[in-house]
Amino acid sequence: MVPHLITALNGPINELEQRILESMPAIERWFRLEWMEHTPPFYSSVDVRNAGFKLAPVDTNLFPGGWNNLTDEMLPLAVQAAMAAIEKICPEAKNLLLIPEKHTRNSFYLSNVQRLTQIFNQAGLNVRLGTLDETITKPTTLTLPDGGTLTLEPLLRTPRRLGLKDFDPCTILLNNDLSGGIPKILENLHEQYLLPPLHAGWAVRRKSNHFQSYEEVAKKFAKLLGMDPWLINPMYSQCGQVNFADGTGVDCVQSNAEALLAKVRRKYKEYGINEKPFVVVKADAGTYGMGIMTVRDPKDLEDLNRRTRNKMSVIKEGQEVSEVIIQEGVPTYERMNDAVAEPVVYMLDRYVVGGFYRVHAERGIDENLNAPGAAFVPLAFAEASHMPRPGEKPGASAPNRFYMYGVIGRLAMLAASYELEATDPDAEIYE
Amino acid sequence: MVPHLITALNGPINELEQRILESMPAIERWFRLEWMEHTPPFYSSVDVRNAGFKLAPVDTNLFPGGWNNLTDEMLPLAVQAAMAAIEKICPEAKNLLLIPEKHTRNSFYLSNVQRLTQIFNQAGLNVRLGTLDETITKPTTLTLPDGGTLTLEPLLRTPRRLGLKDFDPCTILLNNDLSGGIPKILENLHEQYLLPPLHAGWAVRRKSNHFQSYEEVAKKFAKLLGMDPWLINPMYSQCGQVNFADGTGVDCVQSNAEALLAKVRRKYKEYGINEKPFVVVKADAGTYGMGIMTVRDPKDLEDLNRRTRNKMSVIKEGQEVSEVIIQEGVPTYERMNDAVAEPVVYMLDRYVVGGFYRVHAERGIDENLNAPGAAFVPLAFAEASHMPRPGEKPGASAPNRFYMYGVIGRLAMLAASYELEATDPDAEIYE
């Protein structure tokens, strides 16, 4: 189950929506059984693209920002989910140490930190903020757009524990995706819960691992519903050793793009989809919408202009791109006042707690919307007259539509759970 | 934490509210620790009375009806809590058998059953309704005010299990408070989860046990907050062997009422409360607002008129009253358009999922409002501008006010958990 939201549009009738709604109890039970075997990520957000003929996650964020974009109405759901999460991890906990990103001048990001603080505070934890920014050597108060304040404090490391002055937390929650590498101060913390784990950070994580796990999840789920997994799964391939600046390895990207486009074309033919396929090339460890390129024709990769080469070479915190993922492009046919939109689903523990539309007026249906100029339209709770009704015509009910988005979001979250298990450096292997 | 609701009024500044808000993380942690030791009732609703000088639960219902009075906005919270509850009890469950009350002609009650069905359905269970009404021998479809339907089916008992035709549930959820006694068909079901347990039903349960447990909980909680437990605890005493029809044992009620009134008077004096104390005499096993009498002067008990004697003699399903509880009366100073109101808090598992005001235009501040003529005003979610803010002036913030009600509701729920442990006939005793 999922909060029932007013989606921005009522799209075309969709067989998938009908199938998902009809199978609601079976789907919920399936997730319940999966969560008996797997641990959900502490929190996550998933970008979903709805092509009408296909609905798929295109990005799963394990250090979600943007909590401030959720409506206030969703706060109780988030707090309730946070209570459930904490109860499992550290029920005696008094204190939570939250480690945010370093870019503290971004007031949107600070509002996100404020909202996270509020959620965990209301779930019954004293929340304080520790920063990885070593230039901050004493408590530093920042003012927020709404007049509130946040205080960043320098981290205090002892041989076995991490905290702040007079603050010893049970759980350390990272809202910093570690794109710049794993800081020494976070290593070897075996007495405290460090969440998400270090290998969930972009210093270690790879999109290709995630989508490999997602493929596995999508196949299981598709079997449950008796459908083609492609309807919810974006195909992909990958290349290592790519250097867009000097052209090394671009031939690999090109041939993979070509092969993938051919596969997509066959699928489009199978389903009678009258569209021009495209693929999206992304840094395998990239985030923040950086290092992303839409490719409609592999030939375009031959002579990239300087700007594109630069864009594809360096991502967040100056990290160089060398591994890339080539992913089937899923156009988004959601629109809000003519601007292209994609739903983003927010989860805490195994619960969907909210979502919003990322809307971009200057981008096309086949482009990444996570870019400067994007706006966020919160999805409000359903009106009384919009109670989800399994009997309702597919596509006609906004809450039903959002239920479907929540299912896809949770499939991606489950994939992240598989992914983190598979990539856990401390995992014990049982043969 | 609690959904943040728009309460119908912003009452006088209240020290208790301030103390509770300031202690929010400590309170939430305290509940978390309590739930490590105790199991919350599956669901519950608590009637709370706010006297301005005192805030106390006066009734804790372990078979709550009225779920239809909650707003649609609260459905996601209820579903999320239901998912958490089911995951703990019976994660593999496909089926839930719901056993409602027999009075199936009450369309309000049927709407409640419909809402419960919806909650558990969205939590991922196939829900079907089995009836204890032996006159129903085949599936019987009832039409609801909104045009929907409910189908009641006869129960099918095998030596070890209870179900319906082609329906074998993991969990059996009672929404029937067993006032009329424990039906044989529900006995000795050791393979399935029967919730709430049989001894939570009014055939066994006693209000006096509940308020004894509540006193214990209130003392613990008051110690945590450094306050007088009386501020949240209604004092009580009890009498057995009372027969209002022939006058037997009324002297016990009278002397207890007198002693209790004296205790309340002392408390009022201590706090400078300029009110006339009253007590409420209730059937110890009563429900449905039946068998309840307000007593301002013990002399009033001497010559009860025939109507009052009748009212106090027989309660739901014709059960005779013989044990009574004499409880400190807590006036309610909440009002809605001049009508007296009391908040009712709904909980599922350990989570507050909603609430409403029970409003009665024809009753006084010292009377029971659970009576014909009562209306229900759903508490809506807080507006964006009403986000709970610990810094806000006590009494000025509706969401803060409702947080306090939710805390009191959960204290009563915790008391019910203690009570059910203490009265469990199957409990093993460790010395």
Per-residue b or e along B34-51, where b marks 16 or more CB atoms closer than 10 Å to that residue's CB: bbeebebbbbbbbbbbbb
Summarize chain B as % helix, strand, coil (round to 5).
Answer: 35, 25, 40
* Chain A interface test: which of B72, B88, B111, B115 (most A C-beta within 10 Å): B72
* Chain B interface test: which of A67, A75, A402 (most B C-beta within 10 Å): A75
Helix (H, G, I), strand (E, B) or coil at A115: helix
DSSP A45: E
User: Which range has the worst mean pLDDT, B68-77, B206-215, B246-255?
Assistant: B68-77
Chain A positions in Cβ-Cβ contact with residue B384 (cut-off 8 Å): 71-72
Q: Is the bond leading into A196 cis (omega within 30 degrees of zero)?
A: yes
DSSP A23: T
DSSP string, A130-168: EE--TT--S-EEEE-TTS-EEEEEE-EE-SS-EEBTTB-
In terms of pLDDT, which residue wins out, B158 or A10?
B158
* Contact predicate B414/B210, CB 8 Å: no
In chain A, the percentage of residues whose pLDDT exceeds 90 is 56
pLDDT band at B7 (very low <50, low <70, confident <90, very high): very low
Say yes or no for a CB contact (<8 Å) between B4 and A387: no
In terms of pLDDT, which residue wins out, B431 or B138?
B138
Instruction: Please give, rounded to a whole number of angstroms, the shortest distance from the CA of B245 to a CA of chain A.
Output: 48
Helix (H, G, I), strand (E, B) or coil at A339: strand
Which residue in chain A has the smallest CA separation from B3? A76
Cα distance between residue B26 and residue A415, in whole Å: 36
User: Which range has the worst mean pLDDT, A204-208, B192-196, B365-369, B381-385?
Assistant: B381-385
pLDDT digits (tens, 9 = 90+) for B163-172: 999 999 999 9
pLDDT digits (tens, 9 = 90+) for B358-416: 877 777 777 777 766 667 666 543 333 233 445 555 555 566 677 888 999 999 999 99
Q: Which of A105, A151, A60, A5 is nearest to A416 (CA)?
A: A60
Chain A positions in Cβ-Cβ contact with residue B391 (cut-off 8 Å): none
Residue A200, φ and ψ in degrees, nearest 5: -85, -15
Q: Is the bond leading into B196 cis (omega within 30 degrees of zero)?
A: yes
Find the mean pLDDT for residues A94-107.
Answer: 90
pLDDT digits (tens, 9 = 90+) for A293-343: 888 988 888 877 777 777 777 666 666 768 899 999 998 877 666 677 788
Chain A positions in Cβ-Cβ contact with residue B92 (cut-off 8 Å): 29, 32-33
Question: If phi over 0 gives left and psi between -120 and 50 gives alpha, with beta otherwise, what is residue B303?
Answer: beta
Residue B316: pLDDT over 70: no
Query: Is the C-alpha dihedral spanning A151, A156, A162, A163 positive or negative?
Result: negative
Q: Which residues does B306 contact at the CB level (< 8 Å), separation at least 6?
A: none
Residue with tokens 């306090």: B404
Residue B80: pLDDT over 70: yes
Pairing of strands B339-348, B351-360: antiparallel
Say yes or no for a CB contact (<8 Å) between A124 and B381: no
In terms of pLDDT, which residue wins out, A129 or A2?
A129
Say yes or no for a CB contact (<8 Å) between A72 and B25: no
pLDDT digits (tens, 9 = 90+) for A163-202: 999 999 999 999 999 988 999 999 999 999 999 999 999 9
Cα distance between residue B256 and residue B239, in whole Å: 8
Say yes or no for a CB contact (<8 Å) between B75 and A27: no
Distance of CA A92 to the CA centre of its chain: 29
pLDDT band at B339 (very low <50, low <70, confident <90, very high): confident
Q: What is the pLDDT of residue A106?
A: 87
Residue B151's Cβ-count burial label (10 Å; 0-12, 13-18, 19+) is exposed
> Looking at domain A69-200, what is its CATH homologous superfamily?
Glutamate-cysteine ligase, N-terminal domain (3.40.50.11280)
Q: What is the pLDDT of residue B12?
A: 41
Cα distance between residue A356 and residue A345, in whole Å: 7
pLDDT band at A117 (very low <50, low <70, confident <90, very high): very high
Q: What is the pLDDT of residue A385?
A: 29
Average pLDDT, chain A: 85
Instruction: Please give, rounded to a whole number of angstroms, the shortest distance from the CA of B221 to a CA of chain A.
Output: 15
Q: What is the pLDDT of residue B381?
A: 36
Cα distance between residue A36 and residue A41, in whole Å: 14
**B376 beta partners:** B358
Question: Domains of chain B: which residue ranges?
Answer: 1-62+206-234+333-421, 72-200, 239-329
Q: Which of B81, B79, B179, B68 is nearest to B410 (CA)?
A: B81
The angle at the Cα of A78, spanning B14 to A356, to the nearest 5 degrees, equals 120
Which residue in chain B has the smallest CA separation from A29? B124
Residue from the list B25, B80, B125 with its beta carbon closest to the beta carbon of A77: B80
Question: Where is B257: in which H helix or E strand?
Answer: helix B250-271
Instruction: Please give, rounded to a whole number of angstroms, the shortest distance from the CA of A3 to a CA of chain B.
Output: 5
Q: Which two tokens stand for residue B295?
A: 């007593």
Residue B4: pLDDT over 90: no
Instruction: Please give, rounded to a whole number of angstroms, the shortest distance from the CA of A118 to a CA of chain B.
Output: 9
pLDDT band at A37 (very low <50, low <70, confident <90, very high): very high
What residue type is A33 in one-letter code?
A: L
pLDDT digits (tens, 9 = 90+) for A219-267: 999 999 999 999 999 999 999 888 887 888 889 999 999 999 999 999 9
Cα distance between residue B239 and residue B230, in whole Å: 22
Cα distance between residue B394 and residue B52, in whole Å: 12
* Chain B interface test: which of A38, A72, A125, A345 (most B C-beta within 10 Å): A72
In terms of pLDDT, which residue wins out, A301 or B417?
B417
Residue B8: pLDDT over 70: no
Q: What is the pLDDT of residue A228?
A: 92
Q: What is the pLDDT of residue B289?
A: 59
Residue A8, φ and ψ in degrees, nearest 5: -70, -20
DSSP A383: P
Q: What is the pLDDT of residue A52?
A: 82
Chain A positions in Cβ-Cβ contact with residue B2 (cut-off 8 Å): 76
Q: Which pairs with CB-CB distance under 8 Å and at least 24 residues apart come from A166-170?
A: A167/A95, A167/A97, A167/A126, A167/A128, A168/A95, A169/A93, A169/A95, A169/A96, A169/A97, A169/A128, A170/A89, A170/A90, A170/A92, A170/A93, A170/A94, A170/A95, A170/A96
pLDDT band at A387 (very low <50, low <70, confident <90, very high): very low
Which residue in chain B has the smallest CA separation from A354? B76
Q: Specify the length of chain B in residues.
A: 431
Q: What is the pLDDT of residue B385?
A: 29
Q: Which of B183, B179, B177, B200 is nearest to B319 (CA)?
A: B179
Instruction: Please give, rounded to a whole number of angstroms, the shortest distance from the CA of B48 to a CA of chain A.
Output: 21
Residue from the list A75, A80, A122 with its beta carbon closest to the beta carbon of B24: A122
Q: What is the pLDDT of residue B94?
A: 94
Question: Where is B334: in which H helix or E strand?
Answer: strand B334-336
Q: What is the pLDDT of residue A11?
A: 40
Helix axes A398-422, A24-37, angle to 10 degrees: 20
Could you give the count of Cα atoms lying within 13 Å of A131 in the half-sphere of its Cβ?
21
Say yes or no for a CB contact (<8 Å) between B92 and A33: yes
- B72-200 has which fold? Rossmann fold (3.40.50)
Query: Is the C-alpha dihedral spanning A238, A240, A246, A252 positive or negative?
Result: negative
* Chain A interface test: which of B1, B38, B96, B117 (most A C-beta within 10 Å): B1
Instruction: Please give, rounded to a whole number of angstroms, the shortest distance from the CA of A32 to a CA of chain B.
Output: 6
* Contact predicate B159/B192, CB 8 Å: no
Q: What is the pLDDT of residue B11?
A: 40
Q: What is the pLDDT of residue B304?
A: 76
Q: What is the pLDDT of residue A33?
A: 95
Helices (H) and strands (E) in chain B, counts: 8, 18
Chain A positions in Cβ-Cβ contact with residue B71 (cut-off 8 Å): 384
Q: Which two tokens stand for residue A192?
A: 């405290």
In terms of pLDDT, which residue wins out, B424 or B317?
B424
Residue from the list A2, A27, A87 with its beta carbon closest to the beta carbon of B32: A87
Residue B183: pLDDT over 80: yes
Find the mean pLDDT for residues A141-145.
Answer: 91
Q: What is the pLDDT of residue B95?
A: 96
pLDDT band at B287 (very low <50, low <70, confident <90, very high): low
In terms of pLDDT, which residue wins out, B375 or A114?
A114
Q: Which of A216, A217, A257 is nearest to A237 (CA)?
A: A257
* Contact predicate A377/A359, CB 8 Å: yes
In terms of pLDDT, which residue wins out, A428 or A416?
A416
Q: What is the four-CA torsion angle of B37, B42, B43, B49, rounded to 10 degrees?
A: -30
Residue B9: pLDDT over 60: no
pLDDT band at B290 (very low <50, low <70, confident <90, very high): low
Find the mean pLDDT for residues A22-39.
Answer: 94
How many other C-beta atoms can be found within 10 angstroms of the C-beta atom of residue A350? 25
Say yes or no for a CB contact (<8 Å) between A32 and B86: yes
Say yes or no for a CB contact (<8 Å) between B72 and A388: no
Residue A401's Cβ-count burial label (10 Å; 0-12, 13-18, 19+) is buried
Q: Which residues does A430 contact at the CB level (< 8 Å), separation at least 6?
A: none
* Contact predicate B367/B339, CB 8 Å: no
pLDDT digits (tens, 9 = 90+) for A64-75: 999 998 887 788
In terms of pLDDT, which residue wins out, B132 or B342?
B132
Q: Which two tokens stand for residue B167?
A: 């329906």
In terms of pLDDT, which residue wins out, B324 or A389?
B324
Helix (H, G, I), strand (E, B) or coil at A349: coil
Cα distance between residue A370 and residue A359, in whole Å: 9
How many other C-beta atoms can be found within 10 angstroms of the C-beta atom of residue B116? 25
Q: Which of A245, A324, A310 is nearest to A280 (CA)?
A: A324
Average pLDDT, chain B: 85
Q: What is the pLDDT of residue A234?
A: 96
* Contact predicate B199/B420, CB 8 Å: yes
Find the mean pLDDT for residues A141-153.
Answer: 92
